Amino acid sequence: MTQKKFTPTAEIQFYTVNLTVLPPSNDIKTFYYNLISRLYNSDIIINHGAYFYKITKLDKIETSSGNGIYGIISKYVSLADLEWVEDKSDSPVEYAIPGNIKGRRATHEFVFYPESHRFAFMKRGKIEQSSKRGPAPLKAILYFLKHAFDLILEDENKFCEVNLIQSNQIFDEIYSSVVKSMDLTVSYSNPGIGDDHEQTMDEFLRKAHLGKTRIIMSPDSTGQISTDAVFTKGLIDLARENGKVKAKIETIEGSKFINTEDHPEIKRITVARDGNIEIKFFQKILEELKANEQ
């Protein structure tokens, strides 16, 4: 009997972020390629909490699955805000920091596919598997992208939405429960999305020229919101990739509150640990991002 050869494998996990600029461009690929390039070349820095962020690397990648962009967002701490002290006495000391020195706290690698205007952010920050750090700071990354792209677009009569793709499981939980209230925030997408309900609602928002739309729902005398109706289902499905849902639901275990933004979709990719692993990962990531090409 021939023993099957064991091939070592490597795995990465990543979050997907949907960037949508409205009104949409006629040439999506060129527009989003130029947009991310402009952000990198602008050297825009955005503060969030105690740190500040900027894109510090941007390279074109070419694979058999297509071309995309590899980049890094760097997270810095302001050295000017630190108090320098002598180790043993704990006494403040004067310490002149060279002007060209920055205190980088972490780096967060991403792959961007212009045709679907989506980012893949590595869950552990880096593609290399040796990274032992905690998950990437999604809220800070979303904040950086939203505010940085808004600065790029402020003179062009356009605005952007930056949305985290959320887990199917959390939306399944909403559909399978008694929904007592909902607070939905959605925006219309670039053309070419999902099923009839989602597409119908997306088209309604587009034709009304509505950007970000927030709808707060409460039930009538029945005491529960129907999630099967065209109106509610269309909004809920649209929100998975173009918004978020906050809901109060009742299950057999009792009442609970759900914020779908707290439940990101996590994609997992496994490749054989031979040859150029990084290129293999790029290829697989691009295949995932291309699934939403428009």
pLDDT of the residue at 128: 61
Least confident of 140-144, 184-188, 261-265: 184-188
Percent above pLDDT 90 for the chain:
49
Tokens of 55: 């894109």
Residue 100 has a pLDDT of: 59
Predicted local confidence at residue 145, as pLDDT = 97
Residue recorded with tokens 């970000």? 212
The pLDDT of residue 197 is 54
- Exposed e or buried b per residue across 249-265, where buried means at least 16 C-beta atoms within 10 angstroms of its C-beta: beeeeeeeebebbebbb
Percent of the chain scoring above 70 in pLDDT: 85
Q: For residue 66, is it left (φ>0), alpha (ψ between -120 and 50) or beta? A: left
Going along 137-242, which residue ranges are E strands? 159-164, 178-186, 213-217
141 band by pLDDT with thresholds 50, 70 and 90: very high
Reading the block at residue 212, the tokens are 């970000």
Q: Which helix (H) or strand (E) holds 286?
A: helix 277-290
DSSP class of 191: S
Three-state secondary structure call for residue 242: helix
Q: Phi/psi at 170 (nearest 5 deg)? A: -70, -30
pLDDT digit string (tens) for 83-134?
667 777 777 777 666 565 567 778 899 999 999 999 999 887 666 655 556 6
Residue whose C-alpha is closest to residue 184's, from 129, 242, 144: 242
Enumerate the β-bridge partners of residue 269.
12
Residue 275 above 80 pLDDT? no
pLDDT the model gives residue 257: 96
Query: Residue 67 — left, alpha, or beta (φ > 0 → left; ψ -120 to 50 → alpha)?
Result: beta
Q: Can you tell me which residue has the tokens 């990543």?
A: 14
